[in-house]
Amino acid sequence: MRTNIKKLLTLGAIGLSFSALVQAKTELTMYYPVSVGGALTKVVDSIVDDFEQENPDIDVKAIYAGNYNDARVKALAALNSGQPAQLSVMFSIDVHELMDLDAIVPFDDVISTSADRQWLKSFHPALMENGIVNDKTYGIPFQRSTIVMYYNKDLFRAAGLDPEKAPSNWQELVEMGKKLTKKDSNGNVTQWGAMIPSTGYPYWMFGALTKEKGHKLMNQAGNKTYFDDPKAIAALEFWKDLGNKHQVMPKGMIEWGTLRQNFLEEKTAIMWHSTGNLTAVKKAANFDFGVAMLPADEERGSPTGGGNFYLFKNATTEEKQAALKLVKFMTSPKQAAKWSIETGYMGVSPAAYQTKELANYVESFPPAAIARDQLKYATAELSTHQSGRVRKLLDDAIQSVLNGQQDAKQALTSAQKQADRILSRYR
């Protein structure tokens, strides 16, 4: 009898430990967006594979969900309908909205050791600006970018300009732009001096222009915007003037999506675009091109951009720990270096640039360091409560001005008024 019980107990113990073994495999589901060119999904998959090899007890399902908006919608949809999602890469500027929806937890609540706390401080500070709210870190930088200026050195040479000297301020941008703009015998433009995209993410480009004017578009708490400041108005007027007055840029809208193609087909000598496009441009350009920081007006500047890692609230403690492990792995210097080389996105920490791989790469291809060097002039990207709606207000205002439907002051004042109405309840 007694032995029987003993046997049963041992059996049970074995069974328990066995099932524990099986259960120990933590499953993680992660949604992520891609918003620039190239087969980035392959790169993510390969990093995730490396992670799984190192951590056989964790299973990661990485789901490509489209653009930033799609990724956010899909991740939240999964949470709403009871499907698993423990972490996601989402727009760095979604942080206030995600907090309002009570969907995410700060990393501070999940980490425990002092080494972890050190890890939180290991990233470029400018990249943390959009991720920290009330002194807590909600977003860890992953696919992060700034806007940089791509320029076609061959066309610079052809126009009699020094190919090593990109325009360093607004005035030079206009002057060089005029030299780079070419017309045919009918007076039609065959080659433009510059293009700044005004669809897709116009507020982002506007963030660069306003920063260069020495102005920020919102406060850190994300409940106040400053769209109607004279500096913002001047920045928008300059943008419009590039097309209308100086005629170095096409009037009206410039497509975000087709801009790279325009640059590659030498329809424009200069384009402002995400550094995340760097590798795609490098692979496809059959001319000599350079990358430079955006030109300064009162100062240099660009908003940061791109996606951060977020942890979801409803994950179990174990899942959160596993998710933390994954985030740490994917942002580790070695992986960050690989990611940066493959895509053009920034190495998210100074340590990433000290790895042999990225150091060598930067040496052989200096444009890869521009985005990092520009970080010291960078500012946070427009991020507020109800950011989707507020962003649309600004986007619409910018587009209406560039299309000549309203003047800058009128459009930005009205956008500010509407933003105030939305944000007043968060103050």
Shortest Å, Cβ 423 to another protein: 11
Q: How far is the CB of 328 from another protein (least distance, A)?
A: 25
CA distances from 246 to 170, 185, 238, 243, 254 (A): 12, 20, 10, 6, 16
The answer to whether the CB of 213 falls within 8 A of the CB of 202 is no
How do strand 268-274 and strand 104-105 relate by DSSP bridges? unpaired
- Cβ closer to another protein: 61 or 121? 61
| Residues in 394-423 that interact with another protein by CB under 8 A | 395-396, 399-400, 402-403, 405
φ/ψ region of 160 (left if φ > 0, alpha if ψ in -120 to 50, else beta) reads left
Nearer to another protein, 45 or 172 (CB): 45
φ/ψ of 228, rounded to 5, equals -100, 15
Structure tokens at 391: 């962003």
| Residue 231: both structure tokens together | 């500096």
Rounded CA-CA distance 89/352 in Å is 19
Q: Which of 416, 372, 382 is nearest to 397 (CA)?
A: 416
Half-sphere exposure of 12 (CA within 13 A, CB side): 6
Q: Which of residues 28-87 bind another protein (CB under 8 A)?
A: 31, 34-39, 41-42, 63-67, 69-70, 73-74, 76-78, 80-83
Of 132 and 402, nearer to another protein (C-beta) is 402
- Residue 63 Cβ vs another protein, minimum distance, rounded to whole Å: 5
Rounded to the nearest whole angstrom, what is the least distance from the CB of residue 55 to another protein in the complex? 22
Dihedral sign, CA of 237, 242, 243, 249?
negative
CA 272 to CA 374: how far, in whole Å?
Answer: 14
Which of these ranges, 11-19, 161-169, 323-331, 392-400, lies near another protein under the rule CB under 8 A? 392-400
Q: Which of 24, 284 has the CB closer to another protein? A: 284
Query: How many C-beta neighbours within 10 Å does residue 427 have?
Result: 10
Residue number with CB closer to another protein (19 or 258): 258
Q: How many residues at the interface with another protein, by CB under 8 A?
A: 67
Q: Which is nearer to another protein, 42 or 165 (CB)?
A: 42
How far is Cα 296 from Cα 82, in angstroms, rounded to an integer?
49
Restricting to residues 162-201, which ones interact with another protein according to CB under 8 A? Answer: 186, 188-189, 192, 198-200
Q: What are phi and psi of 224, to 5 degrees?
A: -145, 135
Smallest distance from another protein to CB 105, Å: 18
- Interface residues toward another protein, by CB under 8 A: 31, 34-39, 41-42, 63-67, 69-70, 73-74, 76-78, 80-83, 97, 100-101, 186, 188-189, 192, 198-200, 250-262, 265, 267-268, 277, 280, 284, 385-386, 388-389, 392, 395-396, 399-400, 402-403, 405, 425
